[in-house]
């Protein structure tokens, strides 16, 4: 049985071109800044996004947390959209590494209101001072939703007016650029810093980059080393990252189309609720009662996915998912729900 793995776009395997490049690239000790392939990846990422400099790190979480630690001091507050990965899924790192507090802002579809952020900026002797504003694009927990460029620019203006840095968790920023049909440079412009994952929809096996000014990236080096992210001959990984950034961005619209087809198929099934407004990129979140029962039943039929809560399931399309996989997934989910309904009626 061929497994259809819809748990995340992190499950992708490196392409043949990546595996070949990994065997051939020149290597050196990156902690000394001497790995030519890491340097090439960093230069390429900086050039594509319009930032001055980049830093290769092992994961998206480290990218975010090194960036936050570089920006803020202990006892500060970090403004984040509700559901932000930096707070929800990076096991307390904000508190442990930076000693910072999260200030969560309502963000329907991942999009916070500027006024809501403005009202939460603190700068007085009695409270933890705000030292950073973050955004996530695409916003994972809201459904892989896209934050419009205009809103991003407005938040950037607010940040600037308050002398605050503005960071993007851009783990899936390439999905956002594909959905908005804009360049990486355009989407990056409003931000002071950004993290970008190479190992999600772009299919590299490992790694992320942090982007920012030369001064910021020099400072960030120290936190990467502190957290154990100095990787020596890391060019073997960066080689795949270069191909990810160069060749894998354009095809992301295919993942988005397949997610849209999947959502349309599921929306017609009784017992499932999908807010179609959330289906904008490569994720499909839907509600169903006793979600883990459905996930277990799907697993026995060769389809893997994650229950995020007791009544919600996330499906993520990626490089290895085909049109046939989408069709089969809809059929299996329909069948699994139908069987459950029959079994419940008989009980
Ligand atoms: N997200 C993973 C899980 O941790 C939930 C996934 O399967 O979606 N920012 C965002 C927006 C992310 O979605 C993720 C990973 C990260 C950062 C962290 O990246 P890694 O896993 O490389 O540390």
Q: State residue 347's pLDDT score.
A: 85
| Residue whose entry in the numeric block shows the structure tokens 């400099």 | 53
Q: What angle do CA 109, 177, 306 make, to 5 degrees?
A: 50
**Averaged confidence pLDDT in the chain:** 97
The whole-angstrom separation of Cα 258 and Cα 72 is 40
Tokens (6 digits) for 191:
């931000």
The alpha-helical segments, DSSP class H, found in the chain are 16-24, 36-49, 60-71, 85-88, 93-98, 114-118, 149-161, 173-180, 184-188, 214-226, 235-247, 252-267, 291-300, 323-346
Burial class of 207 by CB neighbour count within 10 A (0 to 12, 13 to 18, 19+): buried
Rg (Cα) of the chain, in Å, rounded? 21
- Mutation probe of ligand 1 site: the residue of 87, 171, 196 with most atoms within 8 A of C-beta: 171
- Mean pLDDT, to the nearest integer, of 30-43? 98
Give the pLDDT of residue 125: 96
Q: Mind listing the pLDDT tens digit for each residue in 140-163?
A: 999 999 999 999 999 999 999 999
Give the closest residue (by CA) to ligand 1 atom 6.
8
User: Cα(347)–Cα(344) distance, rounded to whole angstroms?
Assistant: 5
Domains of the chain are 10-247 (3.40.640.10), 251-346 (3.90.1150.10)
Residues lining ligand 1, Cβ inside 6 A: 8, 10, 59-61, 64, 85, 89, 136, 140, 169, 171, 197
List, in order, residues 6 or more apart from 200 with CB less than 8 Å away: 8, 9, 10, 12, 60, 171, 172, 318
Give the dihedral of Cα atoms 282, 252, 181, 152; nearest 10 deg: 50
Calpha distance 55→39 (Å, rounded): 9
Query: What residue has token string 């442990």?
Result: 96
- Ligand 1 atom with least separation from CA of 139: 11
Task: Say which residues have a Cβ less than 8 Å from residue 258's Cβ, sequence separation at least 6.
Answer: 282, 317, 321, 323, 326
Q: By alpha-carbon position, which residue is closest to atom 21 of ligand 1? A: 60
pLDDT mean over 228-251: 98
Residue 287 near residue 272, CB atoms below 8 Å: yes
Q: What is the rounded CA–CA span in Å between residue 149 and residue 141?
A: 19
Give which of 282, 309, 320, 314 is closest to 298, Cα–Cα.
314
The pLDDT tens digits of the residues spanning 169-223 come to 999 999 999 999 999 999 999 999 999 999 999 999 999 999 999 999 999 999 9
CA of 90 from ligand 1 middle (Å) equals 8
Q: How many Cα atoms are found within 13 Å in the side-chain-facing hemisphere of 114?
A: 14
Of all residues in the chain, the percent with pLDDT exceeding 70 is: 100
Residue 50 has pLDDT above 80, yes or no: yes
Find the length of the chain: 347
Closest ligand 1 atom, residue 10 Cα: 7
Ligand 1 centre distance from Cα of residue 103 (Å): 20
* 309: exposed, middle or buried (Cβ count in 10 Å: 0-12, 13-18, 19+): exposed
Distance CA 312, CA 61 (A): 24
Taken in order 176, 178, 158, 208, the sign of the CA dihedral is positive
Atom of ligand 1 nearest to the CA of 7: 7
pLDDT at residue 1 greater than cutoff 80: no
Tell me which residue of 279, 347, 346 sits closest to 316, measured CA to CA: 279
Cis check: omega of the bond before 138, within 30 degrees of 0 = yes
- Cβ-Cβ contacts under 8 Å for 298 (sequence gap 6 or more): 304, 305, 332, 333, 336
Task: Give whole-number Cα distances, 260 to 20, 274, 275, 294, 323, in Å.
Answer: 33, 11, 12, 21, 11
Q: Residues 242-301: pLDDT tens digits?
A: 999 999 999 999 999 999 999 999 999 999 999 999 999 999 999 999 999 999 999 999
Q: How confident is the model at residue 102 (pLDDT cuts 50, 70, 90)?
A: very high
Residue with tokens 């994972």: 140
**What is the atom index within ligand 1 of the atom nearest the CA of 169?**
9
């Amino acid at each position: 049985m061929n497994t259809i793995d819809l748990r995340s776009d992190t499950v992708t395997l490196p392409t043949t071109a990546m595996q070949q490049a990994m065997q051939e690239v020149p290597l050196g000790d990156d902690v000394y800044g001497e790995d030519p392939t890491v340097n090439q990846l960093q230069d390429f990422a900086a050039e594509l996004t319009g930032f001055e400099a980049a830093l290769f790190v092992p994961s998206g979480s480290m990218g975010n947390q090194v960036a936050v630690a570089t920006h803020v001091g202990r006892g500060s507050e970090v403004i984040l959209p509700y559901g932000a990965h930096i707070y929800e899924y990076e096991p307390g790192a904000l508190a442990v590494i930076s000693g910072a507090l999260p200030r969560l802002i309502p963000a329907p579809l991942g999009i916070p209101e500027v006024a809501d952020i403005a009202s939460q900026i603190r700068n007085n002797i009695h409270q933890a001072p705000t030292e950073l504003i973050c955004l996530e694009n695409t916003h994972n927990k809201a459904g892989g939703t896209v934050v419009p460029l205009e809103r991003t620019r407005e938040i950037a203006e607010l940040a600037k007016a308050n002398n605050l840095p503005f960071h993007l968790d851009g783990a899936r920023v390439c999905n956002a650029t594909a959905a908005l049909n804009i360049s990486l440079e355009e989407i990056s412009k409003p931000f002071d810093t950004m993290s970008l994952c190479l190992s999600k929809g772009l299919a590299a096996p490992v790694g992320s980059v942090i982007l920012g000014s030369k001064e910021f990236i020099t400072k960030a080096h120290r936190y990467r080393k502190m957290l154990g992210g100095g990787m020596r001959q890391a060019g073997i990984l960066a080689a795949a990252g270069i191909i990810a950034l160069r060749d894998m961005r354009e095809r992301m619209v295919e993942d988005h189309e397949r997610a849209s087809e999947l959502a349309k198929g599921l929306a017609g099934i009784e017992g499932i609720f999908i807010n179609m407004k959330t289906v904008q990129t490569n994720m499909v979140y839907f509600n169903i009662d006793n979600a883990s029962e459905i996930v277990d039943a799907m697993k026995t039929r060769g389809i893997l996915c994650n229950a995020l809560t007791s009544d919600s399931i996330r499906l993520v399309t990626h490089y290895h998912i085909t049109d046939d996989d989408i069709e089969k997934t809809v059929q299996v989910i329909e069948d699994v729900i139908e069987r459950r309904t029959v079994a419940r009626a008989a009980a």
